[in-house]
Amino acid sequence: MMGIDLPVLYDARAAMGRRNAAAAVLSMLEKMGTIRSPGAYLRRLAQKARMGQFSPTPMINALLQTPQLTISCDPDD
């Protein structure tokens, strides 16, 4: 559906860990309109992770700066 094959996802999970891979995919999902090839993009992020050059923090911070995105930590919301 997103254009990411399972082997690419498994490779990303192995390279960056489950949580970081999930954060990367979630961030990509939110920016789907601007990413032409999600599989290639994730593959490149996995390469960077193997070289120690990847952190999901900038991706998450960019999402937090998106005006239409509302994140609540309150379970009653």
- Report if residue 45 sits inside a domain: yes
pLDDT in tens, 54-77: 999 999 998 888 776 556 666 665
Close Cβ partners of 29 (under 8 Å, ≥ 6 residues apart): 2
- Report if residue 71 sits inside a domain: no
pTM above 0.95, yes or no: no
- Report if residue 24 sits inside a domain: yes
Q: How far apart are CA 34 and CA 15, in angstroms?
A: 24
Tokens of 52: 């120690």
Side-chain-side CA neighbours of 57 within 13 Å: the count stands at 3
- Report if residue 77 sits inside a domain: no
Question: Structural domain tally of the chain?
Answer: 1
Which residue segment(s) compose the domain that 24 sits in? Answer: 6-64
